[in-house]
């Protein structure tokens, strides 16, 4: 039953974007309602900047409106993340940042108090260590893990977003998980 629901969402997202492409710009509001939170989560994990992530989300939806003619009817979510990656790269170029590593102190400062306020102290510390380990990865490895684990995209979707084979995605995600595990264990010793 879940597969049917996913399929209906897939078609309805595509149908909405095709309506936007055809000139019914109000339908973009529905897509925004569905995807602004997951998109913000992806961008925040990549930038670690609340305001920048919010701005980038707005820019992604603006760019999708501007380039709606480029939507070919493929999977909307894949196209949206592809656009988001381009907007994110533009942000890093403009700001002079690379999207690479953040010092552990910066990560801890930004994470402290932002989320998981009701969790026990030990769990909070584990989450902080995991987030710090994630931030110590390269932007490419971090992006793969965020898309596959936090955004729960299928390897086939990630392959289309990154324009690589599904097999390459599997190998890269596996390697990124190994690096994350190693970094996490180093931080907890």
pLDDT in tens, 88-111: 999 999 887 765 544 333 333 444
pLDDT in tens, 154-171: 999 999 999 999 999 999
**What pLDDT is attached to residue 74?**
82
**What pLDDT is attached to residue 118?**
57
Indicate the burial class of 69 (C-beta count within 10 angstroms; 0-12, 13-18, 19 or more). exposed
> Tokens 């907007």 correspond to what residue?
87
**What pLDDT is attached to residue 112?**
40
**What pLDDT is attached to residue 114?**
47
List Cβ neighbours of 162 (8 Å cut-off, separation of 6 or more): 169
Low-confidence ranges of the chain (pLDDT < 70): 1-11, 98-119, 189
**What pLDDT is attached to residue 113?**
41
**What pLDDT is attached to residue 95?**
82
DSSP secondary structure letter of residue 73: S
Question: What is the Cα–Cα distance from 106 to 48, expressed in whole angstroms?
Answer: 9
CA 139, 34, 82: angle at the middle one, nearest 5? Answer: 35
**What pLDDT is attached to residue 99?**
56
DSSP secondary structure letter of residue 70: G
Query: Do residues 147 and 153 touch, judged by C-beta distance below 8 A?
Result: yes
**What pLDDT is attached to residue 138?**
93
Q: Which helix (H) or strand (E) holds 68?
A: none
Query: Do residues 98 and 137 touch, judged by C-beta distance below 8 A?
Result: no
């Amino acid at each position: 039953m879940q597969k049917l629901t996913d399929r209906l969402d897939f078609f309805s997202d595509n149908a909405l974007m095709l309506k936007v492409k055809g000139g019914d710009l109000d339908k973009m509001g529905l897509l925004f309602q569905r995807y602004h939170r997951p998109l913000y989560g992806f961008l925040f994990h990549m930038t670690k900047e609340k305001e920048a992530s919010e701005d980038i989300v707005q820019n992604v939806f603006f760019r999708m409106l501007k380039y709606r003619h480029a939507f070919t009817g493929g999977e909307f979510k894949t196209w949206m993340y592809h656009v988001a990656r381009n907007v994110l790269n533009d942000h890093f170029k403009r700001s002079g940042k690379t999207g690479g590593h953040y010092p552990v102190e910066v990560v801890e400062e930004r994470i402290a108090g932002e989320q998981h306020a009701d969790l026990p102290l030990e769990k909070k510390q584990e989450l902080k260590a995991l987030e710090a380990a994630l931030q110590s990865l390269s932007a490419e490895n971090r992006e793969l893990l965020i898309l596959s684990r936090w955004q729960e995209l299928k390897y086939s979707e990630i392959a289309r977003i990154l324009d690589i084979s599904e097999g390459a995605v599997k190998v890269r995600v596996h390697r990124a998980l190994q690096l994350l595990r190693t970094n996490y264990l180093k931080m907890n010793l």
